[in-house]
Structure 1
Amino acid sequence: MKPVRTLLISALFLLVLMAVFVWLYPHMPARVPTHWNAQGRINGYMSPLGAVATPMIAIAVLAVLTLLLPVISPRGYDIKSFVSVYVLIMLAVQAYVLVSALGVLLNAAGHPVQMPLVCALATGVLFMVMGNYMGKLRKNFFIGIRTPWTLASDAVWERTHRMSGWLFMLAGMAIMAIALTSAPVTWLLGIALSAVLIPVVYSYVAYRRVEARD
């Protein structure tokens, strides 16, 4: 899929979000819950307009970046060689924003939506989608595990992202499974943070091994 065609999907996301907002608006309070703490208690509010405008802006910005980043990529770090994978990941992130926003709007209108659970499940799915395609990313400055060591070596980039793909898949499944058991949110955060930090450390170790071999 070409980046320009993703504008249609992004536009559909925005239309769905706006349509749901118009449908639910008469049932919304003046202050819409938009954030929950680690104990699942509400600790953030917005106006109804702010609750829909914020995710719409986020989706629009991601849509623009989907088009812009392949164009401005420097020589040697071109996104065009894996553009279909890049597009799918960017759309997955937009879908994550959409699902979270729809949950917020439905919850505000009185529908029984457990937002901490919805966000955890959506995060797990996003990790799994990213993990499935992580190994297909090629060296670039905008997406993937971008450390000094992965950017310095094609071999380190490939090894790190191949390992990260499995790690993200496992983390995504673990997040979803733990979320369904009503485990503390700190567990979910720990898994997500580990899935992000472990590849960073691994990239350094892999670089030292490749450097020693050369």
Structure 2
Amino acid sequence: MKILKKIIWLFMLAPIVYLFSIWQQLPESVALHFDINGNPDRYGSKKELWGSALLLLGVSIGVYLMITNINRIDPKRYAKEMQDKYDKMAVAIALFLSVIHFFVISSASSGRISFSPGVVFALVSALFAVMGNYMYNIKPNYFIGIRVPWTLESEDNWKKTHHLASRMWFVAGIIMAILTLLLPTTPGMIVFFAGTFLITTIPIIYSYKLFIKERNQKNQL
């Protein structure tokens, strides 16, 4: 894991190196935004690419450093013993953001999206599956997971909620990844956003019902 944590920095910086290497070949005006069909609908100066590139790099580094240092900033007592799992999640997220970063620069430089928008939805869905795999035994913390008041107040609520969320994210992530690759753009987009909404809201509703049940049991004592 230590070697992987060092190599991931190369992946995070790779898109910047790529942009620098193709800079002289870029036209002064490049595509900066695309519609859902992959067609450019806004152009601008190639210098704007540096702003986007540096912003994405900053987000990648910021998220990576936050997750890999949870044990230092999270007051929950489980943070230190879960750090190895957090590190793996941080690497997965950083790698995902680097791939998206590369796609943004590549699409702008070519003036077209050379891949189906469904590929992006599939990548995000695959990330959901990866996160679901790590979520099953994640301990209470203030940064990662289903962080609502009733899960943070009860370890039992947190555990049951994340057992459910883990299974949902893993299975739904795989199904969504397959469907968004196979379906046309619009149906694939509907599947992606509907699936994302469900795997986000259902665990929260479930955790709230657990909270109400626990509260009623205490009131009956």
Q: Give TM class, smaller chain.
A: 0.7 to 0.9
> Under a length normalisation based on structure 2, what TM-score does the superposition of the two structures give?
0.83
Distance 1:209 1:64 in 2: 38
Question: How far off its partner does 1:67 sit?
Answer: 4.1
User: Which secondary structure state, in structure 1, belongs to the residue aligned with residue 80 of structure 2?
Assistant: helix
Does the aligned pair in 2 maintain the 1:6–1:87 contact within 8 Å?
no
Name stretches of at least 5 consecutive residues in structure 2 with no aligned partner: none
- Per-residue CA deviations over 1:79-108 (Å, capped at 9, x if unaligned) read 112111111112222112111111112222
Higher alpha-carbon deviation: 102-111 or 53-62: 102-111
1:143 match: secondary structure = coil
Taking a change above 3 Å as real, the CA distance of residues 159 and 201 of structure 1, as seen in their structure-2 partners, is same
Q: TM-score when scaled to structure 1?
A: 0.85
Whether 2:108 is the aligned partner of 1:108: answer yes
Match in the other structure for 2:207: 203
SS of the equivalent of 2:121 reads helix
Amino acid at match of 1:127: F
Choose the corresponding residue for 1:17, options 5, 15, 18. 15
How far apart, CA to CA, are the structure 2 residues paired with 1:142 and 1:30?
41
Runs of 4+ that moved beyond 6 A: none
**Which residue does 1:189 correspond to in 2?**
193
- Per-residue CA deviations over 1:12-38 (Å, capped at 9, x if unaligned) read 123322222223323434454454455
Assess if the C-alpha contact under 8 Å between 1:139 and 1:154 holds in 2.
yes
Give the C-alpha shift of residue 117 in structure 1.
2.5
CA deviation map 1:106-130 (0-9, x unaligned): 2223275226223212101110100
CA distance in structure 2 between the aligned counterparts of 1:8 and 1:200, rounded to whole angstroms: 35
- Helix, strand or coil: the match of 1:103? helix
- Do the aligned residues in 2 keep the contact of 1:70 with 1:80 (CA within 8 Å)? yes
Q: If you compute each CA radius of gyration, which structure gives the higher value, 1 or 2?
A: 2
Aligned residue pairs total 211
1:90 counterpart residue number:
90
Contact kept in structure 2, 1:29 and 1:48, CA below 8 Å: no
Query: What whole-Å deviation, never above 9, does each CA across 1:178-214 have from its counterpart, x for those lacking one?
Result: 2111242233112112111111111011222334445
Greater CA drift, 113-122 or 28-37: 28-37
* Residues 35/9 of structure 1: CA separation in 2 closer, same or farther (3 Å cut): farther
State the secondary structure of the residue aligned to 2:82: helix
Structure 2 partner of 1:80 = 80
Shift of 1:44: 5.8
Unaligned 5+ segments in structure 1 are none
- After superposition, what is the alpha-carbon deviation per residue over 1:148-192, rounded to whole angstroms, capped at 9, x for unaligned? 111111111000000000110122122212211124223311211
The residue number in structure 2 matching 1:142 is: 143
Contact 2:33 2:43 (C-alpha < 8 Å) held by counterparts: yes
Change (3 A) 1:48 1:6: same
Q: What is the aligned-residue identity percentage? A: 25
